[in-house]
Amino acid sequence: MYETFFEMTNTPFRNDIHVDALYISSDMSEILSRLEYAVSRQLFAIITADVGCGKSTTIRRFTNSMSDDKYEVLYLSDSKLTPRWFYKGLLDQLGIESKFYRGDARRQLHQQLEIIRGVYGKHVVTIVDEAHLLARETLEEIRFLLNTKMDSVQPMSLILVGQNELWDKLKRQHYAAIRQRIDLKCEIPPYDRSQTDEYIRTHLSYAKGNQDIFTDKALDEIFRYSAGSARAINKLCTHALIFAAQRAKKLIDDHMIRTVIAGELP
């Protein structure tokens, strides 16, 4: 394994790195602050990003920072989420058996939200991942769910997370009603060249090995290939480390990166 060759204690470019060790760019820091504001005010927010640009990382970091005494976090990720299964998924997490008809299930959920807020003094935060795949019917049901007490208060904080096409979908005329309810829109940009460098160095620091493995020109090639996508950076850096270890090379230069891109990546 390359970790032994590079004298690493941890594996640097994995998806399951503990949230405390994750690289937090200035963009992500700002988005986390906006999300904290959204949940404190029980607002409706959406998060969008290109594929591999850190949506899941942002949500992991955000939910890990939330106090269990103050917030009840519900999480759904299902591309086939119908209104009925939307309510069932939320009620299941609250330990409640959902009724069959959506209207009944909606009333059940509202009742539980009132109990959680009134009895336990907690805010409910619902996160719906892969939201760009949601059908129009489900998005409309979410609007109905948020329309309570003559539109004076939202029953919970809601965060929709999806690829950039989610916002493209919501900009269409027949989604105007739900779009107008969105309080905050957060778009996660890809890393720039400097952030790509910082990302790689942060992960190498987490690995507790040599942090001067990639030359500056190698970092240029990694940025050019990845276009600032964290997922692409992870893949290329992992393959480059394996390639270098197999050839007993302690330093990875731009030529090696180009060789890996041409011959090693699927």
3-state DSSP call for residue 147?
coil
Distance CA 47, CA 176 (A): 18
Instruction: Please write down the HEC assignment for all residues of 224-242.
Output: HHHCCCHHHHHHHHHHHHH
In the prediction, which pLDDT does 235 show?
A: 96
Is the whole model's pTM more than 0.85, yes or no? Answer: yes
Per-residue pLDDT of the chain (266 residues; tens, 9 = 90+): 899 999 999 999 998 888 888 899 999 999 999 999 999 998 999 999 998 898 988 999 999 999 989 999 999 987 678 889 999 999 999 999 999 888 899 899 999 999 998 999 999 999 999 999 998 899 988 888 887 654 556 788 999 999 999 999 999 988 898 898 899 999 999 999 999 999 999 999 999 988 889 999 999 999 999 999 999 999 999 999 999 999 999 999 999 999 999 998 87
Using alpha carbons, list the distances in angstroms from residue 165 to 57, 227, 259.
Answer: 19, 18, 34
Q: The domain 2-19+191-263: what is its CATH number?
A: 1.10.8
Q: The domain 26-188: what is its CATH number?
A: 3.40.50.300
Q: List the chain domain ranges.
A: 2-19+191-263, 26-188
DSSP for 169-210? HHTSGGGHHHHTT--EEEEEPPP-HHHHHHHHHHHHHHHTS-
Distance CA 162, CA 73 (A): 18
CB distance 185 to 46 below 8 Å: yes
Q: What spatial distance separates the first Cα and last Cα of the chain, rounded to whole Å?
A: 20
DSSP character at residue 157: E
Does the CA dihedral 251-257-262-266 come out positive or negative? positive
In the prediction, which pLDDT does 104 show?
A: 92
Distance CA 95, CA 177 (A): 31
